[in-house]
Chain A
Amino acid sequence: ETGVTQSPTHLIKTRGQQVTLRCSSQSGHNTVSWYQQALGQGPQFIFQYYREEENGRGNFPPRFSGLQFPNYSSELNVNALELDDSALYLCASGTGPSMDSPLHFGNGTRLTVT
């Protein structure tokens, strides 16, 4: 059973709105990374946080931003939503800054932008 929890599970937003997605890391994990998974595609790396600092970012525009809190939970914020932002958003937690440590994924938040 995964220890990573995400909320909400489903969300519907309108183009131009802003959204905040939340992730609670597995106990003992200090790294969290976020991924966008469009239908029929593999997850795409958005960014990673290690001990509250961003330590890696993929090819996503600045309107995708994040935070990691002292308890290592995390938020993904997306501003000015576009239709193409509709996807499953996954967070994953791990130990240490290296992405070689096994990732534990949450069940994801399915975002629909209309």
Chain B
Amino acid sequence: RKEVEQDPGPFNVPEGATVAFNCTYSNSASQSFFWYRQDCRKEPKLLMSVYSSGNEDGRFTAQLNRASQYISLLIRDSKLSDSATYLCVVNSPLGFGNEKLTFGTGTRLTIIP
């Protein structure tokens, strides 16, 4: 089983629609969680951290369910500029106080005019 699993998509949705991405992780000791965005042929950029209480940043809402080891990202009123690959990222302990980030394969989103 992969440490972080995402639906690879692609998701093709019309402008203005709401789209949701899901992600599951296997390591119950994982400590923190993020969504990164990666445009084609560009570097990943942090979109938002994910907290147990859920958090919102404008049109974006992230949720974490530790019991189910499940993370989600909701994008409302999607814009053409939201077209990108969305990477689910999990921070897990390596031991000796070290940590590592594990990225999912990413979910490709294309917003259609």
Contacts and interface: CB of A to CB of B under 8 A. Distances in A.
A44 to B, nearest CB: 7
Interface in A39-91: 40-45, 48, 55-58, 90
Contact of B98 (A42, A44, A56, A90): A56
Contact of A56 (B42, B43, B100, B106): B100
Contact of B43 (A33, A99, A105): A105
Given A42-B87, A105-B44, A55 B103 contact: no
Contacts, number: 56
Interface residues of B, number: 23
Q: Which of B98, B101, B104 has the most CB atoms of chain A within a 10 A radius of its CB?
A: B101
B45 A105 contact: yes
A45 B43 contact: no
**Which 3 A-B residue pairs are closest in the complex by CB-CB distance?**
A42-B103, A105-B43, A56-B98
Given A40-B8, A41-B106, A100-B49, 7 more contacts: A41-B105, A42-B103, A42-B105, A43-B103, A44-B103, A45-B101, A56-B98
Interface of A: 2, 33, 35, 40-45, 48, 55-58, 90, 97-100, 102-103, 105-108
